[in-house]
Structure 1
Amino acid sequence: MTLIFAHRGYSANFPENTMLAFTEGAKAGAEGLELDVQMTKDGEVVVIHDEKVDRTTDGKGFVKDFSASDIRNLDAGVLHKSLGRKERIPFLKEVFEWLSGNSLICNVELKTGVFRYKGIEEKVIGLIRQYGLQDRIILSSFNHYSIVHAVSIAPEIETAPILAEGLYMPWIYASSIKAGGFHPHYRAAHEEIIRQSLQHNIAVRPYTVNKESEMKRLIHAGCTAIITDQPKKAAELREAIYKRP
């Protein structure tokens, strides 16, 4: 069965990459979450997509220039004024503590494409091991050097390179860097690529799948998971598809 991963949590309806979005994603029927990590100037791993805080908070500047305590003072819910409450940027350890009380899978995207964040792989892997989540975490990144480095220090944790464009025989590439899967843009996730990858025991989790037609196509194709801003819609569509005789 194709799993549903809530992209940055239930980000269509709630502030992305916040604990509220993650808990609501779980309530909506997702079996997994996708989140992004950056690092503060004092080495705290924090959950936020952009290198700057400008788009999603009431602050300005690069994540790397904030201390952990200062970044906690920002409101990560400014794009959702109707909530009437402040949402904080989570520390990754907070998310992992919450995950330790449920059975969700978590895709942690290492945002090392713009700033290298020296040591972030070690810090994230240390937290994964601390909370005993080795079997429920997937480490992904557009920076495949981060993926290879993660494999070298934690071969027990699944990794998945993110592919923005189509790649010839991606299952071979994934195997060559000892990744358990890959995460293609949904337009590059053709049925034959999905079929061949699964036959070679390589997981395929396309992103960011919000169109109903694409959800249906990928669920019918049997991909490992779809990463979506709309977990409720995806879960309902999947249920309808699997219930058909």
Structure 2
Amino acid sequence: MTQIFAHRGSSGTRPENTMIAFYEAEKNMADGIELDVQLSKDGKIVIIHDQKVDRTTDGKGFVKDFTLDELQKLDAGYRFQSGKYPAKIPTLEQFLSWFKRTEMICNIELKTTSVTNHELEEKVIGLIQKYDLDDRIIISSFNHYAIVYSYRLAPHIETAPLFMEGLYMPWVYAESIKAKAIHPHYKVAPKELIQISEKEGIKVRPFTVNKEKDLKMYMEIGASAVISDYPALARKVKDQL
């Protein structure tokens, strides 16, 4: 059965990457949550997608130039539905302490561009192990150096490369970097690619699948999961099938 992952939480209905979006995902019976992490100026792991705070908060500037205290003074719900849902930028630790009590799985996307600085990977894996969540976490990134490094640090934690372009035989590529899954953008995840990958033992979780017809198609062909901004819609489609 295809699992439903809430993309940045239930980000179609609540401010993305906030605890209220994650609570909403659980309420909508998502099987998993996808979120994004990066480091603050003082080296704390915070949950936010962009390199800058401008798009989602009432602040301006790069995440890496703010301390955790400064980031948590911002309103992470400021630009969503005219600020209807005020929220703070959460830390990964805050999220994991809540998440541990749920039944869900979590896809942590590493927002890093470095091929030599692995501070983020080391800190994220340290926290996953602190909360004893190794078997409920998937680490993904567009930076494939970061996921290979993560695999070497903790080979038992599942990894998955993210990609936006068509890759030749991605299941072979995934195996070559010891990843157990691939997370392609839905536009580069045709039916055949998913069927072959799954048959070859590589799970496919396309993102960001928000249309009913696409959700239905991926569920019918047996993708391991869909990553959607609208977990409630995905659940409705799944229940109908």
Contact 2:14 2:85 in 1 (8 A): no
**Are 1:156 and 2:133 counterparts?**
no
Q: Deviation of residue 107 (structure 1)? A: 0.4
What TM-score, normalized to structure 1?
Answer: 0.95
- Corresponding position of 1:11: 11
- Corresponding position of 1:233: 233
Deviates more, 1:113-122 or 1:34-43: 113-122
- Corresponding position of 1:42: 42
Contact 1:39 1:117 in 2 (8 A): no
Say what the alpha-carbon RMSD is for the aligned residues.
1.5
SS of the residue aligned with 2:34? strand
CA distance in 2: counterparts of 1:2 and 1:151, whole angstroms:
25
CA distance in 1: counterparts of 2:9 and 2:230, whole angstroms:
9
CA distance in 2: counterparts of 1:145 and 1:172, whole angstroms:
17
Provide Cα deviations, 1:193-222, integer angstroms capped at 9, x if missing partner. 111111221110000001111111111110
SS of the residue aligned with 1:135? helix
Q: Percent of pairs identical after alignment? A: 54
State how many pairs are aligned. 241
CA distance in 1: counterparts of 2:151 and 2:219, whole angstroms:
29
Provide Cα deviations, 1:131-165, integer angstroms capped at 9, x if missing partner. 01101100000010101110111101000000101
What TM-score, normalized to structure 2?
Answer: 0.96
Give the aligned residue type for 1:19.
M
Q: Deviation of residue 86 (structure 1)? A: 2.7
Within-5 A mapping of 1:100-179: 100-113=100-113, 118-179=118-179
Q: Deviation of residue 187 (structure 1)? A: 1.6
CA distance in 2: counterparts of 1:117 and 1:74, whole angstroms:
27
SS of the residue aligned with 1:159? strand
SS of the residue aligned with 2:134? coil
Provide Cα deviations, 1:114-144, integer angstroms capped at 9, x if missing partner. 7976400000000000001101100000010
Distance 1:115 1:70, change over 3 A: farther
Contact 2:58 2:79 in 1 (8 A): no
Unaligned runs of 5+ in 2: none
Give the aligned residue type for 1:170.
P
Unaligned runs of 5+ in 1: none
- Corresponding position of 2:63: 63
Provide Cα deviations, 1:63-92, integer angstroms capped at 9, x if missing partner. 000011111111001023566553000000
Q: Deviation of residue 188 (structure 1)? A: 1.5
CA distance in 2: counterparts of 1:139 and 1:169, whole angstroms:
21
CA distance in 2: counterparts of 1:190 and 1:82, whole angstroms:
36
Give the aligned residue type for 2:14.
F
CA distance in 2: counterparts of 1:83 and 1:240, whole angstroms:
34
CA distance in 1: counterparts of 2:88 and 2:143, whole angstroms:
27
Provide Cα deviations, 1:85-108, integer angstroms capped at 9, x if missing partner. 530000000111011101111000
